[in-house]
Structure 1
């Protein structure tokens, strides 16, 4: 009976070590996946910022042109009124 208990405990110990190893492997795999996802998200975020920056620059450029045209029209109207 003692031998059976000892064998059973030995087998349980082996299985627990195997499970511990599997859990450690899973932890490492998940960590690597999260790092990959985080890197991809940072890349997308950077692209979004660059896209917005170019749009902001375009909007500023157009706004400056419109302001200049309005100024020129105002000057022309005032010259023709006098």
Structure 2
């Protein structure tokens, strides 16, 4: 049994080693919110194509189909907190 057979042979079912970027197969800087599963570098490249827009303060927000946006539409009092 050689080194290649032993090194990193344990199956990864949970933790950072079990998840990777769907674009570049990287494990570092993974964005899991909204089920993106993309590293931060690939997200910056493809954010506009996915549907994210830059807000006035520099944060990116998903305007279409966002769980936060849907939650705010269901509860009108939340609109006053986030969008005023």
Length-normalised TM-score, structure 2: 0.26
More strand by share: 2
Structure showing the higher helix proportion among its residues = 1
